[in-house]
Structures are given as structure tokens and as C-alpha cells.
């Protein structure tokens, strides 16, 4: 593996780690706000926020798979 490839791999690992953590934080925030929306009687809004949280979790799993492929 050449130097350019090594730099690319290092950069991707750093970015993937960051994106995974960032997505987890967003997912937690979405879940909290979905609960707040439910408490306020905004069931439809809560359902959509929960869906976004599920999709964020799916995206995180894809990023984790990518990171594992690099390891």
C-alpha cells in the first residue's frame, strides 16, 4: 500500500468514527424529542421523528460496517 492510500485510510477511519458518534448523538436527541412530542399530544410528529431515529440508526450501522471493512 502506498503513502496516498495510507493517508486515505487514516482519514476515512477518522471521519467514520466522527460520523458514527455524531449520528448516535442525533439519534438520542431524536428519541428525546419524539417523547416530548408524544407528551404534547403530537403523535404524528413523534412518529416521524422516531422514524428519523430509526433511519439514523440504520445509517450508523452502514458507517460501522464501512469502518469494520477498513480495520
Rounded distance between C-alpha atoms, residue 21 and residue 60, angstroms: 9
pTM: 0.89
pLDDT on residue 51 = 98
pLDDT over 90 at 1, yes or no: no
Query: Each residue of 33-58: pLDDT tens digit?
Result: 999 999 999 999 999 999 999 999 99
pLDDT over 90 at 11, yes or no: yes
- Residue 66 belongs to domain spanning: 3-70
pLDDT over 90 at 71, yes or no: no
Mean pLDDT of all residues belonging to the chain: 97
Amino acid at each position: 500500500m502506498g503513502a496516498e492510500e495510507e493517508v486515505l485510510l487514516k482519514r476515512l477511519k477518522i471521519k467514520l468514527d466522527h460520523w458514527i458518534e455524531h449520528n448516535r448523538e442525533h439519534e438520542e436527541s431524536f428519541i428525546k424529542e419524539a417523547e416530548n412530542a408524544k407528551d404534547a399530544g403530537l403523535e404524528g410528529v413523534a412518529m416521524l421523528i422516531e422514524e428519523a431515529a430509526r433511519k439514523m440508526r440504520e445509517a450508523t450501522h452502514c458507517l460501522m460496517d464501512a469502518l469494520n471493512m477498513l480495520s
